[in-house]
Structure 1
Amino acid sequence: MQFDLAPSDAETRGMILVTAGILTEGERVLICQRKAGDRFGLKWEFPGGKVEAGETPPTCLRRELAEELGVEAEVGPEVHRTDYRYPNGFTVRLLFFKVCRYTGVPENREFERFVWARPDELSGFDFLEADREVVDRLARGEVR
């Protein structure tokens, strides 16, 4: 699945453009829990972050994975996209990418904790609302 909307299109619509990586180890996917004192503290999410000015989404994801987990990633195709408006009024456009491979051992640099979970276990974690659609698709085997 490939999408054509450029980051600048999201920005002109007042959205925050965010990337997230689907990293797998065997049958498990890496999920991260936000720190208790952060916005949406203790909610679960996929590693990634906001696209900065002048960055492409894949470049952003590579930077974020290096900062958050200490890995160098090869970012593959975009596998899911969602726009989500939070109750406080801000809207995110969240782009999920398959991480084809990475070098280094993931280490927790920014999260409360992270775990490798099977897709059928994901529903047991309290994910951010914007991630729920891709969590369901992972559980159904539609995203790998």
Structure 2
Amino acid sequence: MRKEVKVVGAIIVQDEKILCAQRGPGRSLANYWEFPGGKIEQGESPRQALLRELDEELKIKVSVSPSAFDTTVYDYDFARINLTTFVCELETGVPTLTEHVAIKWLPAHSLDQLEWAPADRPAVKKLMHESL
């Protein structure tokens, strides 16, 4: 049976643009774009995990919407990923690359110009057709 991993992703909005982060080489899903975030650790809520991951990965603080934007389950060859995304607003800090190789701020209608990780694609599609 495939391992199931629960992860969270942040749809960070600032000035009507969304933060997109590119995964680095040598990691799973190398060079794909994603909403930053990561694994939910034992005893953490999804919101707590998101706040921790964004502090660790990008050195930023955000406010997290009270409810999830989208939830996707995707079967990769290495695990079944259960991704929950939340809309967030940047509160303090400037995104600093610690694990990603690039970031871009794009309007929702332009998100499809990037090569997104498969688990992120349903949220991208939803963002492109809904206003936040």
TM-score by length of 2: 0.92
Which ranges of structure 2 fall in alignment gaps of 5 or more residues? none
Of 16, 20, 42, 1:53 maps to: 42
CA distance in 2, matches of 1:103, 1:109: 17
Tell me how many residue pairs correspond in the alignment.
Answer: 130
Runs of 4+ in 1 over 4 A off after TM superposition: none
Which residue in 2 is equivalent to 1:135?
A: 124
Which residue in 2 is equivalent to 1:41?
A: 30
CA distance in 1, matches of 2:110, 2:27: 24
Contact 1:75 1:101 in 2 (8 A): no
Contact 2:33 2:115 in 1 (8 A): yes
CA distance in 2, matches of 1:90, 1:38: 14
TM-score by length of 1: 0.84
Which ranges of structure 1 fall in alignment gaps of 5 or more residues? 1-12
1:19 aligns with 2:8: yes
Contact 1:32 1:45 in 2 (8 A): yes
- Name the aligned partner's letter for residue 16 of structure 1: V
Contact 2:14 2:89 in 1 (8 A): no
Q: Which moved further from structure 2: 97-106 or 62-71? A: 97-106
Over the residues paired in the alignment, what is the CA RMSD in angstroms?
Answer: 1.5
Percent identical residues: 34
